[in-house]
Structure formats: C-alpha cells, structure tokens
Amino acid sequence: MRVWLPPVMLTVLLCALSAGMPALEPLFEWMQPDKQNVIYERESFLFLLQNHLMLVVISALVGTVAAVAGGIFATRPAGRDFLPLVSQIASIGQTFPPVAVLALAVPVLGFGEAPILVALILYGLLPILRNTLAGLEGVDATVRQAALGMGMSPFQVLLQVELPLAGRVILAGIRTSVTINIATAAIGSTIGARTLGDPVIAGLVNGNTAYVLQGAILIGMLALTVDSLFEAAERVWDRRFLPQTAG
C-alpha cells in the first residue's frame, strides 16, 4: 500500500491549496503591494481544478482508446500495411500546434469546452500510439510463435500475452500524454473553457502577477499529483505482471 502514499499526499495538498488559497493573501500582498485584489475570485479554484481535470481525463480516455486501438490494428497481419499511415496521422496530431487547432475548431464547434477537447485528444495521441506500437513490437517473437503454436487464437494471444507484456510501455505513453495535456489544457481558457488557465490569462491581461502565479502553481501541482499517480500505477503493474524484475 505504500506506493499509493505519495499520490494521496499530493492530492490532499492540491485540494488544500485550491480551497485555502485566500489564506495565502498576505504572501501575495507582500509580493504585489500595489494591487487591491491579489487573490483570483471570479471562480473558485476547486471548481476550476475539477473542470481542468475533467477535460484532461476525457481527452486521455478518448485518446487512449483511439491510440491503443490504432496501435493494435496496425500490428495485426491485416493492418500491417497501414502501419506507416497510422504513425503519420499521430505525428501530424503532435506537430499541429494546439493553438492552431483551437483557431480552426472554434468556428465549427463554437466557444467553450469542445474545441479544447479536440485539441487535447489530437495532441495526446502520439505518445500513446508510439508506445503502443513499441510495446507490441517489443514482445518476443518466439513467445508469440509459441502461443500461436500451442493453440491460442490470435485474440487470446493479444489479450493474454501481448497486451500484458506491452502494457507497461503503453502505460508510460499514457503518462507522458496526460502530463503534457495537463499543461496544454490551460490554453482552453482563451476560448472560454473553464480551466486553471483562467487566473493565468486574467493575470496576464490585468498585469497581475499574483493571479498568474496562483494558476501556474495549481497546474504544476496537478501535473505532479497525476504523475505520481501513474508512478504508483506502474509499480503496481510491475508487481502484477513482471514480478521478477520488481525489486
């Protein structure tokens, strides 16, 4: 159970910081004595945190399903021919700046959460897909040959052999993707999505560094928390499927 201790502690710290930001008023006043308002109050930090996290989770779920499915398809005998195409699509998603996606998506989808979700999903695909491909390709060919030769169906080989063996690498890809997207989600605030980017944008517009700092600190904390959650999940995975390598 000890592996879950860091993420739990970070979660508590994150929630406490979001709820208790006003308590830090003297600190921010000392930093910026010339401003009347030093604590962002247009929306509660807890609400922004929740909404920010929701955007990341939804985009991660959709992105994971799409990327893992694409990766599995491209490594099957029937889909081999599509392997270059699939990796190209993912690479394009990664090279296309999320800001440009927003600019293109707003006229179609309107302001709010929808365009940023599209941008996050596209932006998060590549790391997951790359790792899915690497993980599946990395499964020892003799293991796959033995599994087939002993009478497993291709579907059983995928479910019982390939995915458990590739899962650790896929999980690492999801971790990278989610961490990147926690930071990227903040730009959603420019098109009316409610995220922890709100105080940052407001601070930039009003020249209020305290606002910027509050948003940035919470985004950073969120990234740390989620990352430690994945760290713990990876350890648990190791213990479950690769016990001989876990110390």
Partner 1 sequence: MIELKNVTRRFGDAVAVDRINLTVETGEVCVLVGSSGCGKSTTLRMINQLLPHSEGQILVDGNDVTAMNPEQLRLNMGYVIQGTGLFPHWTVARNIAMVPQLLKWPRERIDERVHELLTLLDLDQATHANKYPQQLSGGQAQRVGVARALAANPNILLMDEPFGALDAITRENLQLEMLRIQSQLRKTTVFVTHDIDEALRLATRIAVMDQGRIIQHDTPENILRRPASVFVENLVGKQDRGLKLMSLHTVRDLMEAPPQPREPEPGADGLKEDDSLRVALSIMLWQNWSQVPVFNADGQETGTITRDRIIQEGA
Sites of contact with partner 1 (CB under 8 A) = 140, 142-143, 145-153, 156, 161, 164-165, 241-245
Q: Closest separation between CB of residue 162 and partner 1, Å? A: 11
CB 162 within 8 A of CB 139: yes
Q: Closest separation between CB of residue 164 and partner 1, Å? A: 5
CA distances from 150 to 78, 161, 166, 230 (A): 22, 13, 21, 35
CB 132 within 8 A of CB 74: no
Smaller CB distance to partner 1: residue 4 or 241? 241
Locate tokens 């930001």: which residue? 21
Alpha-carbon span 75 to 79, nearest angstrom: 6
Provide the 8-state DSSP code for 161.
Answer: I
Contacts of 110 (CB under 8 A, 6+ apart): none
Smaller CB distance to partner 1: residue 107 or 247? 247
146: how many CB neighbours lie within 10 A of its CB? 13
Alpha-carbon span 243 to 241, nearest angstrom: 6
Q: Closest separation between CB of residue 78 and partner 1, Å? A: 16
Q: Closest separation between CB of residue 68 and partner 1, Å? A: 18
Q: Closest separation between CB of residue 172 and partner 1, Å? A: 17
Q: Closest separation between CB of residue 71 and partner 1, Å? A: 19
Smaller CB distance to partner 1: residue 165 or 218? 165
| Structural element, H or E, at residue 53 | helix 45-75
Smaller CB distance to partner 1: residue 55 or 169? 169
CB 71 within 8 A of CB 127: no
> Could you tell me the two tokens for 83?
């392997």
Smaller CB distance to partner 1: residue 26 or 149? 149
Q: Closest separation between CB of residue 177 and partner 1, Å? A: 24
Smaller CB distance to partner 1: residue 144 or 194? 144
Nearest-CA neighbor of 190 among 95, 63, 54, 98?
98
Smaller CB distance to partner 1: residue 88 or 156? 156
